Amino acid sequence: MAERAARRCCLGWDFSTQQVKVVAVDAELNVFYEDSAHFDRDLQEFGTQGGVHVHEDGLTVTSPVLMWVQALDIILERMKASGFDFSQVLALSGAGQQHGSVYWKAGASQVLRSLSPDLPLHKQLQACFSISDSPVWMDSSTTAQCRQLEAAVGGAQALSCLTGSRAYERFTGNQIAKIYQQNPEAYSHTERISLVSSFAASLFLGSYSPIDCSDGSGMNLLQIKDKVWSRVCLAACAPHLEEKLGSPVPSCSVVGAISSYYVQRYGFPPGCQVVAFTGDNPASLAGMRLEEGDIAVSLGTSDTLFLWLQEPMPALEGHIFCNPVGSQHYMALLCFKNGSLMREKIRDESASCSWSEFSEALRSTEMGNGGNLGFYFDVMEITPEIIGRHRFSAENHKVPAFPRDVEIRALIEGQFMAKRIHAEGLGYRVMPKTKILATGGASHNRDILQVLADVFGAPVYVIDTANSACVGSAYRAFHGLRGPPSTIRQA
């Protein structure tokens, strides 16, 4: 351990739905330490399932704020017990599950400023939150507030043009509006509202950290072009909201030096810098080292596209966020519900439950599938909202079925064509230097990836993103210190 402990490093944190995780990354960008605290396993006293509480209505989903604080205590104590040399930490940054919000009670800032190094954080912050269970991204209880917000700005498209997304139930502005409407007393006792990311950064700063522009883009409150709060959106959600949120900052900002609490309790250097924390999706973009024109495709239960954009075109589907690495650029996120489960269904129906037969069908059919085209949505899709299986012949007639091999290629080509069409609808353009980074279960199938390369006309590389938000946060910490960007962002 002694040899490892001498490395100068940055820490990357991830406050995700099911756990808090940390990695230490050295100056050569090698991960040499990692640990995590799993909520359901390590903090069973909070009674979460999958890190959350699903309420009786089936729509409201929350997580206990103190559980997140105690998870940080657990990891720091484990690091200390392992002999981790905190004195070598130059800077730290982190990620939080997007859209979740934390409500600091009046007087909490004074508690943060005067933390005692003799006690763990969770013992000192017990009375600091006006809402003890934070709404998180899985919550879908704010449909009424979404409609109110869209009406206030002139409709869904107008809101998307302003904030990067139409109103979504999980987005923070709508969650704040619900709390103000249903629990006005708790709202009035709140002196600061943080995202999960800026809440976590505040724990390290010993004072309130500002919200960064990238994670702030997932609130339906930030004007993504001007990078300021939208007055009309704030007014539609709750009174005095701007003062409770504070001013947003660029994602690469150094927001301050680490609190003396960590210097005295764990041995961090007083000069250790805290770089603004951001959302888990923006941090993953940094962790995957995307550059302008690049795409990351996660091929999992649902499929997700990450795009680096220069000139965004907000739409009713997908999300535009401020870019966490290039402050003048943007990123887009597109989610498709019918991913691997749909591929597995067609495999079972048309390839005898065999991936090798599935791959053989892709190899034996030509690019373009002879003009046959199919779109397959066995569950209600979100991009766009549609359900059913829709097959079209080369003559553009709707047909009830395809031969087995044609069906398999129609599925895969249709999935990737839809992704390209929706990406281009948000302003994305394939460039000569474009590369596609694939991850998730289907990224292990070379023949599926060949179709992806054919549809986008770009090379595909397979990457491991198991720790992408954590590692991306450590990269961003180096980036915030003005480490060599060419090193941090190289492919």
In sequence order, the β-bridge partners of residue 249 are 212
Residue-level pLDDT at 484: 35
Q: Is the pLDDT of residue 483 over 90?
A: no
Split at pLDDT 50, 70, 90, the class of 488 is very low
Alpha carbons 113 and 101: distance in angstroms, whole number: 21
Q: Is the pLDDT of residue 2 over 50?
A: no
Split at pLDDT 50, 70, 90, the class of 125 is very high
% pLDDT > 90, the chain: 93
Alpha carbons 39 and 60: distance in angstroms, whole number: 19
Alpha carbons 482 and 228: distance in angstroms, whole number: 24
Which amino acid belongs to residue 448? I
- Chain Cα centroid distance, residue 133: 20
Residue-level pLDDT at 466: 80
Split at pLDDT 50, 70, 90, the class of 464 is confident
Residue-level pLDDT at 491: 27
Name the residue among 279, 210, 289, 288 with its Cα closest to residue 250.
Answer: 210
Residue-level pLDDT at 490: 27
Name the residue among 289, 281, 313, 328 with its Cα closest to residue 421.
Answer: 313
Split at pLDDT 50, 70, 90, the class of 113 is very high
Query: Taking a C-beta distance cutoff of 8 angstroms, is the pair 257, 196 a contact?
Result: no
Residue-level pLDDT at 482: 74
pLDDT in tens, 100-109: 999 999 999 9
310, burial (CB in 10 Å: exposed 0-12, middle 13-18, buried 19+): middle
Which single residue is written with the structure tokens 């998307």? 160
Query: Taking a C-beta distance cutoff of 8 angstroms, is the pair 275, 93 a contact?
Result: yes
Secondary structure in 3-state letters for the chain: CHHHHCCCEEEEEEECCCEEEEEEEECCCCEEEEEEEEHHHHCHHHCCECCEEECCCCCCEEEEHHHHHHHHHHHHHHHHHHCCCHHHEEEEEEEECCCCEEEEECCHHHHHHCCCCCCCHHHHCCCCECCCEEECCCCCCCHHHHHHHHHHHCCHHHHHHHHCCCCCCCCHHHHHHHHHHHCHHHHHCEEEEEEHHHHHHHHHHCCCCCCEHHHHCCCCCEECCCCEECHHHHHHHCCCHHHHHCCCECCCCEEEECCHHHHHHHCCCCCCEEECCEEHHHHHHHHCCCCCCCEEEEECCCEEEEEEECCCCCCCCCEEEECCCCCCCEEEEEEECCCHHHHHHHHHHHCCCCHHHHHHHHHHCCCCHHHCEEEEECCCCCCCCCCEEEEECCCCCEECCCCHHHHHHHHHHHHHHHHHHHHHHCCCCCCCCCCEEEECHHHHCHHHHHHHHHHHCCCEEECCCCCHHHHHHHHHHHHHCCCCHHHHHCC
Query: Taking a C-beta distance cutoff of 8 angstroms, is the pair 442, 347 a contact?
Result: no
Alpha carbons 14 and 35: distance in angstroms, whole number: 11
% pLDDT > 70, the chain: 97
pLDDT in tens, 236-252: 999 999 999 999 999 99
Tokens of 375: 């779109």
Q: Is the pLDDT of residue 75 over 70?
A: yes
Query: Taking a C-beta distance cutoff of 8 angstroms, is the pair 206, 115 a contact?
Result: yes
Q: Is the pLDDT of residue 485 over 50?
A: no
Residue-level pLDDT at 467: 87
Residue-level pLDDT at 32: 96
In sequence order, the β-bridge partners of residue 392 are 373, 398
Residue-level pLDDT at 361: 98
Alpha carbons 12 and 1: distance in angstroms, whole number: 20
In sequence order, the β-bridge partners of residue 135 are 62
Residue-level pLDDT at 486: 32
Alpha carbons 389 and 402: distance in angstroms, whole number: 11
Report pTM: 0.91
pLDDT in tens, 403-428: 999 999 999 999 999 999 999 999 99
Mean pLDDT of 369-390: 95
Residue-level pLDDT at 1: 38
pLDDT in tens, 434-457: 999 999 999 999 999 999 999 999
Mean pLDDT of 155-179: 98
Q: Is the pLDDT of residue 489 over 50?
A: no
Write down the mean pLDDT value for the chain: 95
pLDDT in tens, 292-349: 999 999 999 899 999 999 999 999 999 999 999 988 999 999 999 999 999 999 999 9
